[in-house]
A and B are shown apart, each in its own frame.
Chain A
Amino acid sequence: MTAVKKPKLAVWKFASCDGCQLSLLDCEDQLLAIAKEVTIANFPEASRAVIKGPYDISLVEGSITTPHDAERIHKIRRMSKCLVTIGACATAGGIQALRNFADVNDFVSIVYANPAYIETLNKSTPISDHVPVDYELRGCPINKYQLLEFITATLNGRKPNIGTHSVCMECKMKGNVCVMVSSGTPCLGPVTQMGCGALCPSYNRGCFGCFGPMESPNTKSLAAWFERLQVPSDDIVRMFRGFNAYAEPFRKESEAHEK
């Protein structure tokens, strides 16, 4: 029998909280099985060992916020056959992209006593603004089952079976009572991509958009519904300006409500 070379997996971190890559270690029931199918070649959060590239799959967490990182992502792209962005930071710039709506120098001086030492870019941007991305997994954090599905599908040479419909649909499939209709709670579910299992409405709260905008979302119509619920425009701005604030449909809608 000829030995089949196992694909090499690498995990990379940019500006982020580590939560999305932790999802891989949170696959307690599957982790050792995954390690049998792929070589975990570069995953500093889990291992001291570093196996040289090129890598078959690179999972990229975090957004680009420094000049150094803007260069580093190109090196990683060159070493990666398939580059996958994982989570809201990597796919949309993350919560740290709130700086994109302000003057970053103000942000620096609020946090640091000596702003001159800080080297940072004006904007926090998604990986796809810098290099071509082969696939993206949404979420803040990602859904670990979507990650497993992606890895399994890739190893078997098929397309991952990951939906792009709205959280609203997930709620209906789950049989949840609509929080907006029943209790007037503003909810981003109608414009947010599925993936969390309609978590917030299942816990009696409105969706706050962790998985980012779905394909062709009608944010304008949803915002009009919020206005009918007497949600103040400041709150509408804050709702669209969350963990996926810099994703275009959410960004534009938030700007439309800014005074």
Chain B
Amino acid sequence: MKSRTIKVDYLARVEGEGRLYVRIKDNAVAEVRFSVFEPPRFFEALLRGRKFTEAPDITSRICGICPVAYQMSSSQAMESVCGVTVSGPLRDLRRLIYCGEWIESHVLHIYMLHAPDFLGYEDAIRMAKDHPDVVNQGLKLKKIGNDLMVLLGGREIHPVNPRVGGFYKVPTKEDLLRFVKPLQWALEASLETVRFASSLPFPEFERDYEFVSLRHPDEYPITEGRVVSNKGIDISTDQFLDTFEEIHVPHSTSLQAKVKERDDYLAGPMARYCNNFDRLPEVAQKAAKEAGLSVVCTNPFKSIIVRSVETVFACHEALRIIKAYKVPDKPYVEVPPKAGVGHGCTEAPRGLLYHRYEIDDAGIIKDARIIPPTSQNQKAMEKDLRQFVQKNLDLTDEKLTWQCEQVIRNYDPCMSCSCHFLKLDIQRD
């Protein structure tokens, strides 16, 4: 029988360098590969011998799209080694800058990277010719996320202000109040975004995922919580490596995470949403329901709606924090180094980001381990691809290729993040 190959050598509209490959034989999917060919940068190795206070600055360079996630996971891991807890307004400010990153990253993905797929455009710039209002709204909304990061971090990419223990400098109440009006507009625009996203045409596709995310007693999770899943995981962050493992698969040059004793899992907006719908503010719950989402969403193509709902949450949460803000006495808590091991887990825009460090009495890093969301999702992505292709063999090559790209883009993957511990694929043409 005939064999057919779907191949994308350089996947566009994702962060970093990845490729996908699907081989179909006798009308059945024979092989599926999603591989990352980012050159490795060895972050875990180069962190050894650096000071524990340098980890937020160094690890933020793993990813230009979600530097705050790296700064927060590493800071919290270091604080946990040293037995320090950051609370009150400093903790709120961490959540606030993280809201900025969620808005910026989600809106970038929704409008610039993903919407063009659904509407049949190569990119947002071409889409802007026919839909200028949509693209302009996206750009304006994204900018508000970036502006928040600039205020609290100094700049939107690799902010300089966050540190182990808090911040170098905290904003005044007036600084924050200036954001009320733009954020009120952003909240409305994000509700509009939910409506826009839900109007897009979605392929029929559902899968029974294991959703892994943080869960907090009374907040929608961003900066902390227990690691939970809809299939029974409920652990503290220091048990992460007891529950999850990374495996080598022969056909791919990358390491893939899985639940020990089980299989692939999904981290990211759909997982957070499913595990924490009850923690969303009413405005976000209502928007989700009106968009036709139930409390669990198992169609990965609809992750664009879930991201929009989370953008509503992030705008709402930012407004809440700003209104309640009281300037702290000191911009940071002293964190004297103490030998030991610590873990940090926060919710990057694209999913759970785990850090583990061992430091000595002088605060020098002895060992580092970082597991970014894209590595965790890689196995789920391949499984989606396999099942999606099997169900859509009647599509033309062109259509199937584009939709396969979309299957990957559903995850908003970040190869720059994952590459530092993925194997290099040397099979590049």
Give the B-binding residues of A (Cβ under 8 A).
13-23, 25-26, 28-29, 31-32, 35, 40, 44-49, 65-66, 68-69, 94-96, 98-99, 102, 106-108, 110-114, 117-120, 124, 140-141, 196, 199-200, 202-205, 208, 210, 235, 238, 242-243
Instruction: Knowing A69-B39, A110-B48, A141-B158, say if A119 contacts B168 (CB, 8 Å).
Output: no
Q: Which residues of A lie under 8 Å from residue B160 when comparing CB positions?
A: 199-200, 203, 205
Q: Which residues of B lie under 8 Å from residue A35 when comparing CB positions?
A: 125, 128
Instruction: Knowing A68-B426, A110-B48, say if A141 contacts B157 (CB, 8 Å).
Output: yes
Q: How far is the CA of A242 from the CA of B51 in the complex (A)?
A: 12
Instruction: Knowing A20-B64, A69-B39, say if A26 contacts B46 (CB, 8 Å).
Output: no
Q: Which residues of A lie under 8 Å from residue B65 when comparing CB positions?
A: 18-19, 22
3 smallest beta-carbon distances between A and B, as pairs: A19-B64, A47-B123, A49-B122
Contact A32 B125 (CB under 8 A): yes
Instruction: Knowing A32-B135, A95-B46, say if A238 contacts B143 (CB, 8 Å).
Output: no
Contact A46 B61 (CB under 8 A): no
Name the CB-closest residue of A to B144: A28
Contact B128 A17 (CB under 8 A): no
Q: Which residues of A lie under 8 Å from residue B416 when comparing CB positions?
A: 16-18
Q: How far is the CA of A163 from the CA of B39 in the complex (A)?
A: 32
CB of B231 closer than 8 Å to a CB of A: no
Instruction: Knowing A17-B61, A44-B10, A118-B423, say if A202 contacts B44 (CB, 8 Å).
Output: no
| Interface magnitude class on chain B | 35 or more
Q: How far is the CA of A96 from the CA of B43 in the complex (A)?
A: 7
Name the CB-closest residue of A to B58: A95
Select A112's contact among B57, B123, B136, B421, beta carbons within 8 Å. Answer: B421
Task: Decide if the interface of chain B is mainly helix, strand, loop or mixed.
Answer: loop
Q: How far is the CA of A6 from the CA of B428 in the complex (A)?
A: 32
Q: How far is the CA of A205 from the CA of B17 in the complex (A)?
A: 35
Contact B168 A205 (CB under 8 A): yes
Contact A46 B124 (CB under 8 A): yes
New contact pairs (20) apart from A111-B40, A210-B158, CB-CB < 8 Å: A15-B38, A16-B64, A17-B416, A19-B157, A25-B112, A26-B146, A32-B135, A40-B125, A47-B122, A49-B122, A99-B46, A108-B42, A110-B44, A113-B248, A117-B424, A118-B40, A120-B39, A140-B61, A199-B155, A242-B57
**Separation in Å of the B123 CB from the closest CB of chain A?**
3
Contact B51 A18 (CB under 8 A): no
CB of B307 closer than 8 Å to a CB of A: no
**Separation in Å of the A71 CB from the closest CB of chain B?**
11
Contact B12 A48 (CB under 8 A): yes
Q: How far is the CA of A98 from the CA of B253 in the complex (A)?
A: 24
Q: Which residues of A lie under 8 Å from residue B13 when comparing CB positions?
A: 44-48
CB of B108 closer than 8 Å to a CB of A: yes
Contact B123 A17 (CB under 8 A): no
Name the CB-closest residue of A to B368: A110
Within 8 A of A (CB), among B1-49: 10-17, 38-46, 48
Q: How far is the CA of A42 from the CA of B273 in the complex (A)?
A: 35
Q: Which residues of B lie under 8 Å from residue A49 when comparing CB positions?
A: 122-123, 126
CB of B316 closer than 8 Å to a CB of A: no
Q: Which residues of A lie under 8 Å from residue B168 when comparing CB positions?
A: 200, 203-205
Q: Which residues of A lie under 8 Å from residue B158 when comparing CB positions?
A: 19, 140-141, 210
Q: Which residues of A lie under 8 Å from residue B391 when comparing CB positions?
A: none
Q: Which residues of A lie under 8 Å from residue B234 when comparing CB positions?
A: none
**Separation in Å of the A44 CB from the closest CB of chain B?**
4
**Separation in Å of the A14 CB from the closest CB of chain B?**
7
Name the CB-closest residue of A to B143: A28
CB of B379 closer than 8 Å to a CB of A: no
Q: How far is the CA of A35 from the CA of B122 in the complex (A)?
A: 14
Instruction: Knowing A95-B41, A118-B423, say if A47 contacts B428 (CB, 8 Å).
Output: no
